[in-house]
Amino acid sequence: MRQFAACAALEEKTRLKRRAKTLPAAAPEPGPRIRPAAPEDVRSIIALDEDVTGLAKPRYWQDLYERYGSTRREGRFFLVAEGEGRIEGFIIGEVRAWEFGSPPCGWIFAIQVRPKGRLKGTGTRLFEAMCGCFRRAGVEKVRTMLARDNALILSFFRSQGMMAGPFIELEMSLD
Amino acid sequence: MKLQKATYFALYAVLELAADPARQLSAVEIAEKYGISAHHLAKVLRVLGRAGVVDSTRGVGGGYRFAGNAKRLTLLDAIRLFEPLGNERSKSGEQPPNNAAGRALKLVLDETDEHAAATFRSITISTMLKIMAQRLASEPTKETRRPRARQDRRGSASRAGGNG
């Protein structure tokens, strides 16, 4: 909890400093609160994912929460965006080191925002909060991987400034 | 990878106009900025106009204005108006022979085409403008560029000769 609170505070400070350079002083922004996921959030996350994908995966999300949320293991982050008393979105990431020959870097492997709550900056805030966690953990790069035909999420990450990295994903059938 | 000339012209025009949608520019003004043929650009702008990407006003003081949605219009949308990409490219143009070599080559070329199409599909005009702004911010200005070597030599000469 302390790890997230510190990195979220750092990221918020960086974000506000960046905005202060471009905007006149203004009242604090409305919008969902970004915080670590709690056990009671898992049901909402399952429902949100089912709403988007059409598949209910309760065991999958419960397992992810136990591995990335509840244990608070260093370098693992499971954040939610809470607004108007409900979960508007979530993001999960982890610092990984030396996989595929890569020095430690932050990996985002899940992000989702409630469809009716999109286009309000929630995804951006979740992304920036996760980047703050990675910076605090001492890494200088963030990566992700997604399906080539997932135009929506690809566009989102591109709009945050991400570009293609130096790795190529390969696969083959085992039949 | 290379794009056709008309496609480049179209992307220059779209990015220039989308940077300030309230502004109207003539084909000549855009062509001068990018060092390209105004005549060729005018043809490209007509295609963009028919696609609804730009609006045109004729006559004195006329020109073109961005009419699209920069957050929705992607590079692929603009490129496709001028050339095929991805699967479309493999259906047009020269087809490899229907033998083992031809089919294997097609597999590899299709893979690169799909990667290219996915890249262009994922970048909106709005995102391109952000990339341009970031590049501009990170490029050295005249004031911050390192002085030329002769200044260093001048410094070395005075140290060698001494100034007293």
**pLDDT digits 0-9 by tens, B77-124:** 999 999 987 666 656 667 778 899 999 999 998 899 889 999 999 999
Computed on alpha carbons and rounded to an integer, the radius of gyration of chain A in Å comes to: 16
User: Smallest CA–CA separation between B45 and chain A, in Å?
Assistant: 26
Whether residues B127 and A159 touch (CB distance < 8 A) is answered with: yes
What average pLDDT does range B132-145 have in this prediction? 78
Q: Residue A35 has what pLDDT?
A: 96
> Is the pLDDT confidence value at B153 over 60?
no
- Most A CBs within 10 Å, among B122, B123, B128, to test the A interface: B122
What average pLDDT does range A120-146 have in this prediction? 96
Q: Residue B164 has what pLDDT?
A: 35
Distance CA A46, CA A84 (A): 18
pTM of this structure: 0.78
Q: Residue B152 has what pLDDT?
A: 46
* Domain range for B41: 5-138
Query: Is B158 part of any domain?
Result: no
Question: In whole numbers, what is the pLDDT of chain A averaged over residues?
Answer: 87
Domains, chain A, in order of start with CATH, read: 2-19+29-159 (3.40.630.30)
B140 DSSP β-pair partners: none
Domains contained in chain B, number: 1
Shortest CB distance from A148 goes to which of B118, B126, B127?
A: B118
Beta strands in chain B (DSSP E): 54-57, 63-66
Query: Is B125 part of any domain?
Result: yes
Q: CA-nearest residue of chain A to B118?
A: A148
User: How many CB atoms neighbour CB B43 within 10 A?
Assistant: 12
For chains A and B, CB pairs below 8 A equal 26
Structure tokens at A24: 């006149």
Assembly ipTM: 0.72
CB B64 within 8 A of CB B18: no
| CATH number of the CATH domain containing B14 | 1.10.10.10
Q: Residue A12 has what pLDDT?
A: 56
> Is the pLDDT confidence value at A34 over 60?
yes
Work out the pLDDT band at A137, boundaries 50, 70, 90: very high
Work out the pLDDT band at A3, boundaries 50, 70, 90: low
What average pLDDT does range B31-43 have in this prediction? 96
Query: Is B118 part of any domain?
Result: yes
Query: Is B128 part of any domain?
Result: yes
Between A9 and B5, name the one with better pLDDT: B5
In tens, the pLDDT along A57-79 reads 999 999 999 999 876 678 999 99
Spell out the residues 6+ positions from residue B61 whose beta carbon is closer than 8 angstroms to its own: none
- Chain A CB contacts of B122 under 8 Å are 151, 154-155, 158
Whether residues B126 and A159 touch (CB distance < 8 A) is answered with: yes
A145 at the B interface (CB within 8 A)? no
Between B117 and B151, name the one with better pLDDT: B117
Whether residues B123 and A155 touch (CB distance < 8 A) is answered with: yes
- Most B CBs within 10 Å, among A119, A124, A148, to test the B interface: A148
Query: Is B35 part of any domain?
Result: yes
A151 at the B interface (CB within 8 A)? yes
3-state secondary structure of B61: coil
Residues of chain B that touch chain A, judged by Cβ-Cβ distance less than 8 Å:
74, 114-115, 118-119, 121-124, 126-127, 130, 134
Q: Residue B92 has what pLDDT?
A: 62
Whether residues A151 and B121 touch (CB distance < 8 A) is answered with: yes
